[in-house]
Amino acid sequence: MTDSGSAGSSAKLGGVLGYLETGAEDVPHDFCDPRFEGRRLFSEVLGTFFLVLVAAGGAVVNAKSGGQIPLASG
């Protein structure tokens, strides 16, 4: 049993970073590669853009059509 509060132990990270620090074999090696940071940021920006576009676009279409398009099917 290890004592995580001892002065000689290194700080353990939780969540995704902790999972990556454990040396999991099924995590791609290029996940933490800083060369791909631009791709990850671009993907986040593009995904957020489309999410906001669809959400705001749905409200605009609903307002312009006078509520003729139902919000939920059923």
The verdict on residue 16 lying in a domain is: no
Name the domain count of the chain: 1
Asked if residue 28 is part of any domain, the answer here is: no
**Nearest of 42, 61, 41, 64 to residue 53 by alpha carbon:** 61
Domain membership flag for residue 30 = no
Domain that holds residue 46: 38-68
What is the model's pTM? Answer: 0.47
3-state helix, strand, coil in the chain (%, to 5): 55, 0, 45
pLDDT of residue 46: 96
**pLDDT of the residue at 57:** 87
CB atoms within 10 A of CB 62: 14
Q: Looking at the domain assignment, is residue 64 inside a domain? A: yes
- 55 within domain boundaries: yes
Sequential pLDDT tens for the chain (74 residues):
454 554 444 556 666 666 666 665 665 666 677 888 898 899 999 999 999 999 888 888 888 888 787 766 65
